[in-house]
Structure 1
Amino acid sequence: MSDRNIPADGIGMHLYTMREALAEDYPGTLQRLAEIGYRTIGVSGRFGHSAEEIRSYADAAGLKIVLEHVGYPRLTDDWAGALADVKMLGGEWIVVPSLPEELRNPDGFREAARAFTAAGQVAAKEGLKLLFHNHGHDFEEVDGQVLFDILLNEVDPDLLGFELDLYWVVNGGKDPIEYFEAHPGRFPALHVKDMAEDGTFADVGTGTLDFAAIFAHAEAGGVRQWLVEHDAPTDAWESARTSYRSLNELRY
């Protein structure tokens, strides 16, 4: 197997893409995703369902839940409960999707690094790994310091990994390959999200990002899950089908 090869059970859907369908029919949506070919999912929003119910829907569809997004305030507001829910879902990673706006500065990122260290220690004791999901603004440079790099450099790799959103890395002016090579093993999950010519979101394979080149370095980054995402699809199901086909073609 080359480092360009994506395992079949590594192709997933981050469910934020499907939020309108999930609100109407959560179990039916998971069934349809499985029929398209997706094997894993990342949970983002419960839509009134319990972790136990969502796990049952995923099991019925033959999908494995690999992670859930949990808001930054949960680090100090029932973190034990958040971890228990991810374990109930069958996930391996608990993901903080963003930092509060007031922390988007060097001091704030250092505060977050301390919070992630403490939360990551508790997660590890429960057999889970804490990840952080990036946006474009996380790559802002302040006084010569890239904000995102503060987390990379100040939190032990055993306590914090990253769900690297490829669109937002490029939007932030950085190169995902450079991160894979400079920080091996830190990026177990990806958000595979494409960028249109005008800089907006695009279905995977229809935009400007050179995923083949990026994925050739994924092994160095420690990537194990390639989760499709589109923040604003015109037709979520068409986006899901197109993105799956494109990602599946890159397996070979």
Structure 2
Amino acid sequence: MNISRRNFLRNGAFALAGTTLLTNKLLAARGAAKEVLGIQLYSIRDDMKKDPSGTLKQLANMGYKYVEHANYVGRKFYGYSAPEFKKLLADLGLSMPSGHTVMGKQHWDAAKKDFTDEWKYTVEDAATVGQHYVISPWLDESLRKTYDDFKAYMDVFNKSGELCKRSGMKFGYHNHDFEFSTQLNGQKLFDLILQNTDPSLVAQQLDIGNMYHAGGIALDILKKYPNRFELMHVKDEIKTDHKEGGMSGNYESTVLGAGIIPVKEVIDLGRKSGGTKYFIIEQESYQDKTPLEAVKIDLQKMKQWGY
């Protein structure tokens, strides 16, 4: 049947309006998304290395429904391709809205002003597996030596946000402790990160334990930057005689509620004014418990707190 140009344009306009309305509804639904309580799989890294499928099944049996990965190598998650890992999770009643993959200097071609294929594949696979956030949990030391180099890389952060947005996701950054101990031009690195990234493109995942190693206080940060922390790593810390890997202070993580961080107060403030919807449990040291025993206690504590 022949369709006149007028009818074609009119029908196209209706279709576009419908698509726009649907997109707006989806974005609104995402903005009003329910809270997510998950686990960072680095907490049980040795178990995941030995038996990913069996370990995930144990997490599901504990009551976990959401996980965050910390292993993406050679376009595979814990040895599985993106479609395979998505199916494995789905078969266990799990999903993975976020994941950690370091974005480094090697992922940005300054001459071409574009990302390398390696980072484009990272974003592509994250979308395939069902992530909403692609989170980089590290900033190479070479990128934080001078203010100009650092600021230039914050532009790359924003560009990564644009790249992720095209796949329906958001780029994110996760802090350690150096962001609070390192200063450039008289300002803490953490402040510079938040000041030089577009919150509509770059989400912040606040690790409330890591910052403690450098004197960072999560409650103060949440009050200083309201509505900037869409995700949070929920963690408690205790004093120790040895240093946790990569950290500058003599502290290590412990089961929630057993340490020196006022965890419930912090997560309640995140919920109230921090803009936090994703609460991700992470524990890296276990004292007299196995990792799986520890994360089971952590989940029970979060549920006891109403999460």
Shared fold, TM over 0.5: yes
User: Please, which runs of 5 or more residues in structure 2 have no aligned partner?
Assistant: 1-32, 72-76, 109-114, 241-250
What pairs up with 1:51-66 in 2 under 5 angstroms?
A: 51-66=82-97
Letter in 2 for 1:148: F
> Which deviates more from structure 2 when the two are superposed, residues 103-112 or residues 205-214?
103-112
How many pairs are equivalent? 246
What is the RMSD of the two structures over their aligned residues, measured on CA atoms? 1.9
Match of 2:266 in 1: 214
The 5-angstrom pairing of residues 136-175 of structure 1 reads 136-142=177-183, 143-175=185-217
Distance (whole Å) between structure 1 residues aligned to residue 198 and residue 93 of structure 2 = 34
Aligned to 1:201: 253
- Give the secondary-structure state (helix, strand or coil) at the position aligned to 2:178: helix
Asked if 1 retains the 8 angstrom alpha-carbon contact of 2:102 and 2:136, the reply is: yes
For 2:156, what is the secondary structure of its paired residue? helix
Task: Report the identity percentage.
Answer: 26
Whether the 8 Å contact between 2:225 and 2:274 is mirrored in structure 1 is: yes
Unaligned segments of structure 1, at least 5 residues: 1-6
Query: Does the 8 Å contact 2:35/2:279 carry over to 1?
Result: no
Q: 1:86 aligns with which of 112, 118, 126?
A: 126
In the alignment, the residues of structure 2 paired with residue 114 and residue 172 of structure 1 have an alpha-carbon distance, to the nearest angstrom, of 26
The structural deviation recorded for 1:184 is 2.5
Instruction: Name the structure 2 match of 1:184.
Output: 226
Among 234, 244, 247, the alignment partner of 2:299 is 244
Number of the residue aligned with 1:4: none
Cα separation, partners in 2 of 1:207 and 1:158, compared to 1, 3 Å = same
Q: Name the counterpart of 1:77.
A: 116
- Aligned equivalents of 1:147, 1:206: Cα separation in 2: 30
Distance 1:204 1:98, change over 3 A: same
Work out whether residues 35 and 277 of structure 2, in 8 Å CA contact, stay in contact via their aligned partners in 1.
Answer: no
Q: Give the letter for the 2:235 counterpart.
A: K
> C-alpha displacement at 1:107, in angstroms?
3.6
Partner secondary structure for residue 200 of structure 1? strand
Q: Which residue of 1 aligns with 2:151?
A: 110
For residue 16 of structure 2, what is the aligned residue in structure 1? none
Is the aligned partner of 1:129 residue 2:167?
A: no
TM-score (norm 2): 0.75
Q: Does structure 2 conserve the Cα–Cα contact (< 8 Å) formed by 1:205 and 1:247? A: no
8 Å contact from structure 2 (residues 236, 260) kept in 1: yes
* Residue from 63, 73, 79 that aligns with 1:48: 79
By relative contact order (CA 8 Å, sep 6+), the higher-ranking structure is: 1
Q: Is 1:227 equivalent to 2:280 in the alignment?
A: yes
Q: Residue type matched to 1:216 in 2? A: D
Normalising by structure 1, report the TM-score: 0.90
Matched AA of 2:60: A
Answer yes or no: is the 8 Å Cα contact 1:42–1:65 preserved in 2. yes
The more displaced of 37-46 and 141-150 is 141-150
Runs of 4+ more than 4 Å apart: none
The 2-side partners of 1:141 and 1:102 are apart by 13
